[in-house]
Copies of this chain bind each other. A is one copy, B any other.
Amino acid sequence: MAGTIEFTKPSDALKKLLAEASVNLDGEYVDLVDAVGRYAYREYVSKVDLPPFNRSAVDGVAARFVDIAGASESSPILLKLTGSVDVDSTEIPVLKQSEAILISTGAPIPSGADVVIPVEYCAISGDLVYIYRTYPKYANISLRGEDLRVGSIIVRRGTKLRPWHIAALAASGYSQIEVFRKPRIAVVNTGNEIVRGVIPNVTYYVVTSYVRELGGEVVYSRVVSDDIDEIARTLREAVEVSDVVVVTGGTSVGARDVVPKALLKLEYSREVFRGVRIRPGRTASAYVVRGKPVILVSGLPVAAYISLDLLLPPLLGKACSTPFEFELKPSIVGKLIRKLPNEVGFRSFYRVIACRDRDEVLIIPLRLTGSGILSTLIKGNAILEIPEDFEGYEEGSIVKVTLINPLVNCSDIVNGGHDLKRGDSTQ
């Protein structure tokens, strides 16, 4: 039975999915304060110069460069203090030869001044000020437009809005921002055993909470038995109301491939790939229905998570015009404490514990690697990915792992904190 399926390489599976499926997200306007974490729907450029005028970068004394040139600790230069200027001064004072003006950080530079001496290098005595250090022209002055100029790009289409983008957009006077609307996901769980309550619908919770972590909305969810017609009816509805459909179960390499059969019954339905060379998660498949992606994953929770984590972020990233960056996942480098083999041809996702041991980080593979074994994601705190063309890693290899739970101390594990012994002894 297994022989009838050609497993696709994970990179090819992803490439095909991105090429054949399309997720079209409109823009929607949100208040600037609500835009953090969303993706810009279009380019936004600055409408103002920032700073809006030449201003002081320090608390100190504004002066003319020619007057203070050569000042030093041993031969300070004496200037006449004629006034002060603060951040909220409405009138900008004028500075003449051999004069100085007290100035606060952020205050406008007096006309005629071209340098600011920080307060630490000045000594004020009545209406006189001693300057103890020389500075180049324009030192400690933020020039108008030095930060952002009218027309300079703040965000591009697809930029994920972080606090600094929000701040720059605020500086430029934008109060509402057009962002990609959240992707709508339909979750369809198949399986008579779930319908009948023989086992709880755990995979529904994995998929739904994972979608939420990615910033998507679950807009539709159904549990259906392994009935091809019922699945087809449900999928037709799911495709209608969502951007991406995720189906769990019913994709086994074998007798229970009811979901692929149901998909064949749908109009404008096409297989993208069936089976991916990943472990766990090899039953993952994808179809497009009227161009919309339908992703099939295992009914077992860990396999479902690993498959979705391979396919969904790049798909949603493309929809929001943003590159999916593996590097944006937290990671840590550590020393593998024992040999880890790989079945060549499959990309393996080992669940491991990354722990601090004095100055180094140790990577301890968990032996429980069944695709249904949730506890490996609970006891473990990281995932070690072994590429499909690798035979594995030797003991002592330095490897990079993706952190999924916080880092722990190795001593806490020995003390039973993570129940390593049990995790490490059961095959």
Residues of A participating in the B interface, judged by any CB pair closer than 8 Å: 1-2, 32-33, 35-37, 50-52, 57, 59, 86-88, 104-106, 119-120, 142-143, 146-148, 152-155, 159-171, 173, 191-193, 195-196, 198-210, 212-213, 226, 252-256, 299-302, 305, 322-323, 325, 327-333, 368, 370-375, 377-378, 403-407, 419, 426
Residues of B within 8 A of A252 (CB): 59, 104-105
A374 touching B193 in the complex, CB below 8 Å, given contacts A164-B305, A305-B163, A325-B407: no
A218 to B, closest residue via Cβ: B33
Query: In the complex, A176 Cα to B256 Cα: how many Å?
Result: 33
Top 6 nearest A-B pairs by Cβ distance?
Answer: A88-B192, A164-B377, A36-B209, A87-B193, A163-B209, A59-B254
A206–B57 CB distance below 8 A:
no
Residues of B within 8 A of A59 (CB): 1, 252-256
B328–A403 CB distance below 8 A:
yes
Between-chain CB contacts (< 8 Å), 11 pairs:
A1-B59, A33-B212, A36-B209, A88-B195, A106-B372, A119-B254, A142-B370, A160-B406, A164-B305, A167-B203, A167-B209
Task: With a 10 A CB-CB cut-off, give which of A87, A252, A299, A373 has the most chain B CB atoms.
Answer: A87
A119–B2 CB distance below 8 A:
yes
A351 to B, closest residue via Cβ: B164
Residues of B within 8 A of A378 (CB): 154-155, 164-165, 168
A205–B328 CB distance below 8 A:
no
Query: In the complex, A173 Cα to B243 Cα: how many Å?
Result: 30
Residues of B within 8 A of A143 (CB): 426
Query: In the complex, A91 Cα to B333 Cα: how many Å?
Result: 49
Nearest CB of chain B from residue A423's CB, rounded to whole Å? 11
A299–B168 CB distance below 8 A:
no
Query: In the complex, A331 Cα to B154 Cα: how many Å?
Result: 23
Using A160-B406, A325-B406 as known contacts, list a sample of 16 further A-B pairs with CB atoms less than 8 Å apart, ordered by residue number in A.
A1-B119, A59-B253, A87-B191, A87-B198, A104-B252, A147-B370, A147-B374, A153-B419, A161-B209, A162-B209, A164-B301, A166-B208, A168-B378, A170-B200, A327-B406, A329-B330
Residues of B within 8 A of A166 (CB): 205-206, 208-209
A165 to B, closest residue via Cβ: B378
Residues of B within 8 A of A52 (CB): 199
A327–B403 CB distance below 8 A:
yes
A375–B168 CB distance below 8 A:
yes
A404 to B, closest residue via Cβ: B162
A33 touching B106 in the complex, CB below 8 Å, given contacts A164-B301, A330-B328: no
Query: In the complex, A256 Cα to B196 Cα: how many Å?
Result: 70
